[in-house]
Amino acid sequence: MIDSHCHLEQKEYSGVREKIVFKAKKEGLKSIITCCAHPKDLNLTLKLTEKHKFFVFATASIHPEFIKDFSEEDVQTYFNSLIKNKKSLVGVGETGLDYWWIKETKWRKKQKKLFIKHLKLAEKLNKPVVIHSREASEETIQTLETFNVKKVHWHMFSAYNLLKKVVGNGWYISVNTIIYKSKKHVEIVKEAPLEKIMLETDSPWLSLEKGKINDSTSIKLVAEKIAQVKNVDFEEVWHTCGRNTAKFYSLPIHL
C-alpha cells in the first residue's frame, strides 16, 4: 500500500497535485515516495514532504538522462543542498546508467562518474539508493558491487537474466503497470520472492489508459496482477510489498 516510486513534482500534476494526494489517501495508500530527479524540482519536492508529513516522502538525485545539462560545479551545489536537507530525504536516486538515452562514450563516462558521486553521497548520508538503469544492467551491478552498496532499490527492474544476482545481493526491485504489457516483467515477478518486491507507479507516466495521467493509486492494479501471476491473495501482495517498502526506507509510519 505504498507507492515506492513516482514523480509528484512533475508538471502533469500542476493544479491537481493536492487532489492526487487526497485520492491516494482515500484509496488506502499509507504513503507515497516521490522522486525528485532534477535540481529545479527540489523546492517543490521538499514542500510536498512538509505539507504531507508522514505521507509523502522523497528521494532526490540528478537523473542519468540529464547528464549533459550540468557541470561538476552544478552537481556540487545541488548535492550541498541535498546534504542540508538530508532529514527530508529517505534515499538518494534515481541514479544509475542510461545507455538508451545516452549513446556517446564521452557522455556515458560522465554518467558513470555522476552515478558514483551519487553512491558516495548515499554512503555519506547513510541512505538507500534508488537505481535507474537502461541497457546497462551489468555495468550498473558491477558499479554497485565495487562500492559494496547494500541498500539498493532497483526501480522498474527489467533484466530477467540478472534477477538472481540482484536478489542474491539482498537488493529490492519494484514493479509498475508495465507488468500488464511486458512478458519479461511477468517472468521477473514470477521468479522474484515477494519479500524483495515493492510496488511503484513511476507516475505521472505509465497509465494503462492511453492519454491519461497515471497516479499512485495504480499500485492496486499492479498488486492485483502480481497476485494473479504468483497465485497468491491480493491482500498478501498488498501488505507484504507495503511492509517491504516501509522497512527498506525506515519510514516512520504505522501500517
- Per CB under 5 A, residues contacting Zn ion are 202
Residue closer to Zn ion (CB basis): 6 or 226: 6
With contact defined as beta carbons under 8 Å apart, do 119 and 129 qualify? Answer: yes
Half-sphere exposure at residue 252, Cβ-oriented, CA atoms within 13 angstroms: 8
Shortest Å, Cβ 93 to Zn ion: 9
Shortest Å, Cβ 132 to Zn ion: 6
Please choose, from the candidates 91, 83, 89, the residue with its C-alpha nearest in 3D space to the C-alpha of residue 127.
91
Shortest Å, Cβ 205 to Zn ion: 8
Residue closer to Zn ion (CB basis): 98 or 202: 202
Shortest Å, Cβ 157 to Zn ion: 12
Residue closer to Zn ion (CB basis): 3 or 202: 202
Name the strand (E) or helix (H) holding 3.
strand 2-6
129 pairs with which residues across the strands? 92, 152
Which residue's C-beta sits nearest to Zn ion?
Answer: 202
Residues 154, 157, 163, 165: what is their CA dihedral angle, to the nearest 10 degrees?
A: -30
Cis peptide before 200 (omega within 30 of 0): no
| Residue count of the chain | 255
Residue closer to Zn ion (CB basis): 80 or 182: 182
Please choose, from the candidates 49, 24, 19, 23, the residue with its C-alpha nearest in 3D space to the C-alpha of residue 34.
49
Shortest Å, Cβ 35 to Zn ion: 5
